[in-house]
């Protein structure tokens, strides 16, 4: 029986197999459009679609004026997701990441490389999906803070946080990155105004990267990213903050520490 897959998928799968088997290695040039057209008796549009699939999967990257080349897909390291991480709003550290060409990989445990970050905040109406996560009405005011996490000035993680202004407005913790309780994380900041955060819930999924995310993370638009939806709750089971955390799925793994109680 003949191959019933669309031609563009067959081309993409064949190229992926050649990369996985080592026939094409990191830095090698992907066969040109004309070469693929001849090999598969395909149109320009079909070949271009196949290459887009390859790029979206993280197997290839375009270099302006030069062509398309096999991308480096080796994991850069592991992002540790733990309540024990220090001085981060999203409780994340890096393990196994060489922070620069001259740096040795970070060690295990507490010697993992800590993330630094840049952030900006603004008041905005809550979008429908965020309002649902926070248990508030659509359009109610929230403080939206956008983060870019860096290691040795290289972006490794993006995050967006939303907090209901009904909780923090007019307090010393209204701005996560400013004031006397800046950079203490959600639990530390809210404790300063008498709110005890008792649990967090994380939902982990994946989706294509948006164009702004791709530009920030150094990948192609449409490439797969891992998204963590994290929501903090107080003792009355009220959602007090929710966030989206975005990393490249092909370069970063997420590690969770699970403590068992008797």
Q: For residue 224, give Cα distances in angstroms to 1, 7, 54, 95.
A: 32, 22, 11, 22
Asked if residue 197 and residue 93 are part of one domain, the reply reads yes
Cα–Cα distance, 188 to 182 (Å, whole number): 9
- Considering the domain architecture, whether residues 214 and 107 belong to the same structural domain is answered as yes
Strands 77-81 and 252-256: parallel
Tell whether 180 and 214 lie within a shared domain.
yes
Task: Specify which residues 136 forms β-bridges with.
Answer: none
Query: What residue has token string 């887009």?
Result: 52
133 & 247 share domain? yes
Note the pLDDT of residue 223: 83
Residue 205 within a domain = yes
The per-residue pLDDT for 80 is 79
Task: State which of 22, 44, 70 marks the end of a domain.
Answer: 70
Q: What is the CATH number of the domain that holds 157?
A: 3.40.1410.10
List Cα–Cα distances, 72 to 25, 56, 253, in angstroms. 9, 13, 15
d(CA 44, CA 21): 26
- pLDDT at 64 (0 to 100): 76
Whether residues 98 and 207 share a domain: the answer is yes
Q: Return the pLDDT at 17.
A: 93
**Position 240 in a domain:** yes
What does the pLDDT read at residue 105?
33
- Domain assignment of residue 163, yes or no: yes
**Same domain assignment for residues 66 and 81:** no
**Is the residue at 36 inside a domain?**
yes
Low-confidence residues of the chain, pLDDT below 70? 1-2, 83-92, 97-115, 262
What one-character DSSP code corresponds to residue 109?
A: G
**14-26 pLDDT, tens per residue?**
999 999 899 999 8
| DSSP symbol at 179 | S
- What is the number of domains present in the chain? 2
Asked whether residue 47 falls in the same domain as residue 29, the answer is: yes
Domain contains 261: no
DSSP 34: H
pLDDT tens readout for residues 37-79:
999 999 999 999 999 888 877 788 887 778 889 887 777 778 8
Q: Work out the percent of the chain whose per-residue pLDDT is above 90.
A: 50
- 60: domain CATH number is 1.10.10.10
User: What is the reported pLDDT for 84?
Assistant: 61
Residue listed under structure tokens 């008797």: 262
1 lies in a domain? no
Q: Which residue has the tokens 């929710």?
A: 242
Query: Tokens for 164?
Result: 């209901």
Residue 29 is given by DSSP the state: B
Pair 94, 112 in one domain: yes
Under a CB-based contact definition with an 8 Å cutoff, are residues 9 and 16 in contact?
Answer: no
Residues 128 and 251 in one domain: yes
- Per the domain annotation, does 262 fall within a domain? no
The pTM score is: 0.73
Identify the domain containing residue 64 by its residue range. Answer: 7-70
Bridge partners of 159, per DSSP, are 147, 245
- The last residue of a domain, from among 70, 91, 109: 70
pLDDT for residue 152: 72
20 in a structural domain: yes
> How many Å apart are CA 110 and CA 260, to the nearest integer?
20
**According to the model, what pLDDT value does residue 250 have?**
82
36: nearest Cα among 60, 2, 1: 60
Pick the closest to residue 90 from 188, 219, 212, 194 (CA basis): 188
Tell me if 243 sits within 8 A of 162, measured CB to CB: yes
């Amino acid at each position: 029986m003949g191959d019933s897959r669309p031609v563009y998928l067959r081309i993409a799968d064949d190229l992926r197999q050649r990369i996985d088997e080592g026939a094409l290695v990191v830095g090698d040039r992907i066969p040109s459009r004309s070469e693929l057209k001849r090999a598969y008796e395909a149109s320009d549009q079909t070949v271009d679609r196949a290459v887009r699939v390859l790029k979206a999967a993280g197997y290839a990257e375009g270099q302006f004026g030069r062509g398309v080349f096999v991308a480096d897909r080796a994991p850069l390291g592991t992002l540790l997701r733990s309540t024990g991480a220090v001085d981060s709003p999203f409780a994340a550290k890096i393990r196994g990441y060489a922070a620069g060409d001259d740096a040795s990989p970070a060690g295990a445990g507490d010697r993992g490389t800590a993330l630094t970050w840049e952030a900006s905040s603004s008041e905005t109406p809550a979008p429908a999906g965020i309002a649902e996560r926070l248990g508030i009405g659509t359009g109610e005011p929230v403080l939206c803070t956008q983060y870019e996490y860096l290691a040795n000035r290289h972006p490794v993680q993006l995050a967006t946080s939303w907090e209901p202004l009904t909780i923090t407005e007019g307090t010393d913790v209204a701005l996560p990155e400013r004031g006397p309780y800046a950079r203490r994380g959600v639990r530390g900041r809210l404790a300063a105004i008498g709110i005890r955060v008792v649990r967090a819930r994380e939902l982990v999924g994946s989706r294509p990267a948006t164009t702004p995310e791709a530009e920030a993370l150094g990948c192609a638009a449409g490439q797969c990213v891992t998204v963590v939806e994290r929501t903090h709750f107080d003792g009355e089971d009220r959602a007090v903050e929710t966030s989206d955390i975005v990393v490249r799925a092909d370069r970063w793994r997420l590690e969770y520490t699970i403590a068992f109680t008797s």
